[in-house]
Every structure is written in structure tokens, then in C-alpha cells.
Amino acid sequence: MKKPRHVAIVMDGNGRWAQQRGLPRAAGHRAGLKSLREIVRVASDMGIDALTVFAFSTENWGRPRFEIKHLTRLLVEGLKTFVDELHEKNVRMSIIGKHEAFGKSIAKKVDEVLDRTQFNTGLHYTVAINYSGRTDIVYAVQAISNLVQQGELSVDEIDERIVSQFVGLHNLPPVDLLIRTGGEKRISNFLLWQIAYSELYFSDLLWPDFGESAFNIAIKAFDSRERRFGKTSEQVQC
């Protein structure tokens, strides 16, 4: 079976999952963390090279303060309880986004996990925290502009390859498959540059209900896709 090298996931539906059960939204986020741990394990066991998940967008700061507080507390709890498992499975963890915005104590805990797993050679697991796809591109443009101003790069040299070197995930394979749970069919400002040729897979399952079997179905759907990258079917099949 043809499997993707790099899978990205928009983990949507925690709040609705909790509401359907008469539970506080916090319970949905906790259940979602359980699903995340399962998917990381499954992706690692499948031999997938990279897994990137959208945990907290820059737009999420507009949510109720108590929910943000719970999400940040859950982030720290998840890191504390998950780091040993990541390390044992040879998983390397990275962050894209400005996690420093959550405060020094949380940033310190995140950095500790990154340091602990930095030399692991298995699945490269990336969490997007306080991340925006548009801002990612803006930062890349700023960095390239600085090089031009310093005379290290000419305007004529700027192409897709150069831009790709300055956006998030530049050290990883291109995103082959983008999964979004929760029934919504939109990108929500996630990895706008990186998913240009990704296959898109939308699941009606809410994130806490998205487990190993659902992930396998998504991988099988990817296997059935013909990836043409602008070419014709005849050219791809040659």
C-alpha cells in the first residue's frame, strides 16, 4: 500500500464532542488528547516519516479565557505524561508557531521535551501552537527581504525553492495528506504554503472519536488517489 511520508491533521470537534454528551468543553479537549496519543503511536508504528498536528491557532486566542487556560494546562500535562512514550518510540518532537506566548513556564516545559527527543530518528512529530499559515508566509518574506537588504540574495534569485526554505516544516518532506476531522471542509489557515499539492481528506468523526481504524481508512483513501502534480493521468502512469 502506498502511504504518505508526511501527514498533517486539523484536530476539530473536541468541543462538540463534549457538548453532545452534556460535558464541559474541557472534557472534550482531554478526550482529544487521548486520540492524539493514539494517532502518534499508530503513525510511528506504520513507519510514517512525519506527523504535524494543529493544536492551537493564533485565532484561538479569541475563545473564552477559561477555555484557553484549560488548553494551556492540558498542554503542559500532555507533555509531562507523553514525553517518556515519545522517547521510547524514538519519536522526535518539534514545534511550529510562537509557543513563548503561553508564558515562560510553559515555554520551558516545551523546550525540555524538545531537548529530550531532539536526537530521535523515528517519526518526526510536530505540534503547531499559536500558529498561523499566513503569518508563517509573512515571516518567510521578512527573512528573505533581510537577505536581499544585506546583499546575500538578489530579487531574481527568489523562487519557490527559496521561499520553501523559510517557512515552517522546511526540514521535512512535503505534506502528502491533510486530514481534517469534525465534518468541516476548510483549511482554517493551516500550512497554506506546505499543502499546495496535498491530498485532502475530510472525516465526519469528531476528533475524540478518530482512532486507529479511522486513521487507517484515511491512509487507504490516500492510497487510492492518483497524484498528478499538474500532469495528465497518461504522463503519471508512464
Active-site annotation holds for 90: no
How close are the terminal C-alpha atoms of the chain, in Å? 19
User: What is residue 103's three-state secondary structure?
Assistant: coil
Which residues in the chain belong to E strands, given as ranges?
6-10, 50-57, 92-96, 124-131, 177-180, 199-202
Taking the CA atoms of 176, 97, 214 and 63 in sequence, report the sign of the dihedral they define: negative
Residue from 14, 45, 49, 60 carrying the catalytic annotation: 60
Active-site annotation holds for 12: yes
Do 114 and 93 form a contact (C-beta atoms < 8 A)? yes
Residue from 12, 14, 130, 176 carrying the catalytic annotation: 12
Distances (CA, A) of 121 to 7, 140, 176, 177: 17, 27, 20, 21
Known catalytic residues are 12, 60
